[in-house]
Chains A and B, each alone.
Chain A
């Protein structure tokens, strides 16, 4: 589905953000990308939809090379890649419905979108998605009238309106409370498995990731240092990704829940520095 070969990114400032990344994600797989702040997680997913231009290497989507495509070809490629953002990135002065329908912009012409004359099938799909994320009565509300969790639901609906093959998710839960975080993760993973999408989720919260994803990839200093099942994440491996730290909190979590003591909500491992 998605195949990265020898992908590197050097910023104009000279910082090497990614070094020789080789990675492929099959359709229907939910993959978490973990690693400390500044490891290059955001750069990696932004290279995939070319919000950031990769320096060397190749990006293949469904067998088509999109590393150097431009203009209409690039837009065609982006249309197949949905993106969900950390701070929701809704256009807050547009209504919820307009935000969701903006996911169809690559499918309708300028005048149609300017006059808000979307095809009935698009509006039906938008409504169904809003129903699915539980916001079917809110579509006339303005973006800024929603709570954080609701905004992220609209962000999910907008990304899925593109009928993407691949979904890029950048820290979807970083600004949300633990309960909403779990709901959002479950929603993203359920929807993607239903639609057989390949998904890359950048996430700080390792415990949360372990519960929902099929595969975990660890980045450190722009290099791929781990690729395996969520259950393979041992304290040693976490140390190799994040650096030295006492990881016992993560391991003890299950016992604590059994003992019915309040579990630390959403242990934010990335916040711990080596």
Chain B
């Protein structure tokens, strides 16, 4: 049997040594970094950097002591959240946030699908691939807050700027993950459908879409969830939604109302977590 299947190239000196050792019962896995000097150098550098970085942290302990009290106030407010005294504003803010989130996710996902198709190496030609990867890189470079500031400057305060911000951020996120999922699809069905002589769109519809659909739905729901949480943050820079209400309450030291808002956000995120689990099981 030994004639079959062995590599024909004669083994190098190192390989011969490892074979001889294994025959005597001595074997260690090949190290990731072959040179021993380099391994020491890398390990010591990492250790040195961690130590130096740790020493460079400057802590003002009296400030920490003060801050602890304020932190306690803030956390304490969670024990007596005030849903009623600003109830109307909270409700309007939440509703606005949910509308922004939903609209932005739908727009973002719709735009992300073509970009994602173009950014998948196994189905897109090179120029398209580079173009779509560039779009992804640009939309992912800027944090939501920065984009929100830009859009607030362009469109003024309010939810419109928020919707554009969230949709913009959704494109990069969804397109990148969708493209990676397409690249991980099984090759054989792609070949089989191509072999039938169908067109490109038919190919996508029959071979690619069924393979990526569960993940696309799961990711869309996850992004819906992220967008809702982000809407609370970008509201702080004036892009509307529950974030604006939250910001106002914090500025007024009205921590009881802030607590009520945060608790509501937690409840909604929890609900969307359960919902997405259920939907994903159903679409498998």
Give A contacts to B, CB under 8 Å: 95, 97-98, 116, 118-124, 126-127, 131-140, 147, 149-150, 153, 180, 183, 186-187
For A95, the chain B residues whose CB sits under 8 A away are: 29-30
Q: Are B6 and A138 in contact (CB under 8 A)?
A: yes
7 contacts between A and B (CB under 8 A): A116-B29, A126-B27, A134-B2, A137-B7, A140-B18, A180-B4, A187-B1
Question: What is the interface size of chain B, counting residues whose CB is below 8 A from a CB of the partner?
Answer: 20
A137 in contact with B27 (CB, 8 Å)? no
Which of B2, B5, B11, B23 meets A147, CB within 8 Å?
Answer: B5
Q: In the docked arrangement, what's the CA distance between A147 and B5, Å?
A: 8
Cβ of B19 under 8 Å from chain A: yes
Task: Report the number of A-B residue pairs with Cβ-Cβ less than 8 Å.
Answer: 68
Determine if B3 is an interface residue (Cβ-Cβ < 8 Å): yes
Is the Cβ of A121 less than 8 Å from the Cβ of B19?
no
Q: How far is the CB of A188 from chain B (nearest CB, A)?
A: 11
Q: A98–B29 contact, CB under 8 A?
A: yes
Interface residues of B (CB under 8 A from A): 1-7, 11, 15, 18-19, 22-30
Contact call B4/A97, Cβ cutoff below 8 A: no
Q: Which residues of B contact A123 (CB under 8 A)?
A: 22, 25-27
Residues from chain B with Cβ under 8 Å of A134 in the complex = 1-6
Q: How far is the CB of B11 from chain A (nearest CB, A)?
A: 5
Report the bound CA distance from A95 to B28 in whole Å.
11
A118, A138, A149, A153: the one contacting B7 at CB < 8 Å is A138
Contacts of A149 in B (CB 8 A): 4-5
Is the CB–CB distance between A127 and B22 below 8 Å? Answer: yes
Tell me if B5 and A140 are in contact (CB < 8 A).
no
Report A255 CB to chain B, min CB distance, Å.
Answer: 29
Q: Which residues of B contact A132 (CB under 8 A)?
A: 1
Contacts of B11 in A (CB 8 A): 137
A231 vs B43: C-alpha distance when bound (angstroms): 65
A8 → B minimal CB distance (Å): 29
Q: In angstroms, how far is the closest chain A Cβ from the Cβ of B25?
A: 3
> Is B3's CB under 8 angstroms from A120's CB?
no
Q: Which residues of A contact B4 (CB under 8 A)?
A: 134, 149, 180, 183
